[in-house]
Structure 1
Amino acid sequence: MITTTGHYTSPRASGYLQQLCKHFAHKIAVEFDEVSGKAEMGFGRFEAKAGPDRLTVQLWITDPALLDQARHVIDKHLAIFAHREGFETLDWTAPVAA
């Protein structure tokens, strides 16, 4: 298993966290509130936290071959929600063995 963390600076961090979690909740069980969210996804575990101006997403990926796909799923959805801010991708850290 590996873990990777992505960050995005925005005053709308909480709103994006909630949009992301509500969207995923249409297909999987998700727990979330205004400042945190978590879910078990096909690639592993997803956790997100929102501060006043920063969204942090951490992924625990069961198969390293799924790393790019897992990051793409998160980035693709955030690109839709944060398009007015010109969002392209989270600032992802290098993967680390968990």
Structure 2
Amino acid sequence: MSKSTAHVPTRSGSRYLQQLSKHWSHNLDVEFTPEQSRIVFPKDSRGATWSADALVLMEARPETLDVTIEASSPEHLEALKGTVARHLDRFAFREAPLTFVWG
């Protein structure tokens, strides 16, 4: 498994976390509170070519939205980083683009 975390500077992390979680709950396995979210991308989601489930975890803090992605391969990880960033930027349009420094 490949894993990466970004600490995205924003004071609206809880709002963005909830918006994205609700958005993806229509098609994916999602559990969330105002402070934390767990989103499972199954291996067969939307034409995916990866061989295992992927996981996106988000935690809203006072000054950041912490995003962790666990994926089956480095390529899958990179694809999900882009997907998560694009979706969060869409919800954060007033302060977009958000700063994602993946580590």
Higher strand share: 1
Q: Give every structure 1 segment of 4 or more consecutive aligned residues whose post-TM-superposition deviation is greater than 3 Å.
A: none
Residue 47 of structure 1, aligned match among 57, 77, 95: 57
Mean CA deviation greater in 27-36 or 81-90: 81-90
Q: How many residues align?
A: 93
Percent identical residues = 31
Q: What per-residue deviation string (whole Å, max 9, x for no partner) do you get for residues 23-77 of structure 1?
A: 1101112000000000211461111000112100101111222122110110010
In structure 1, C-alpha distance between the alignment counterparts of 2:60 and 2:16, rounded to whole Å: 9
What's the secondary structure of 1:58's corresponding residue?
strand
Aligned twin of 2:49: none
What is the TM-score when the length of structure 2 is the normalising length?
0.83
Deviation of the 1:22 alpha carbon = 0.7
| Structure 2 unaligned spans of 5+ | 43-52
Instruction: Tell me how large the CA RMSD over aligned residues is.
Output: 1.3
Q: 1:19, 1:89 → 2: CA distance? A: 18
SS at match of 1:91: coil
- The answer to whether the 8 A contact 1:7-1:54 is kept is yes
CA contact (8 A) 2:40 2:56 kept: yes
Per the alignment, residue 30 of structure 2 pairs with 30
Alpha carbons 1:49, 1:57 under 8 Å: kept = yes
Contact kept? 1:13, 1:55, Cα under 8 Å: yes
Please list every run of 5 or more consecutive structure 1 residues that lacks an aligned counterpart in the other structure.
94-98
Please say which of residues 6-15 and 37-46 is displaced more in the overlay: 37-46
User: Quick check: 2:4–2:70 contact (8 Å CA) kept in 1?
Assistant: yes
| Counterpart Cα distance in 2 of 1:10 and 1:65 | 27
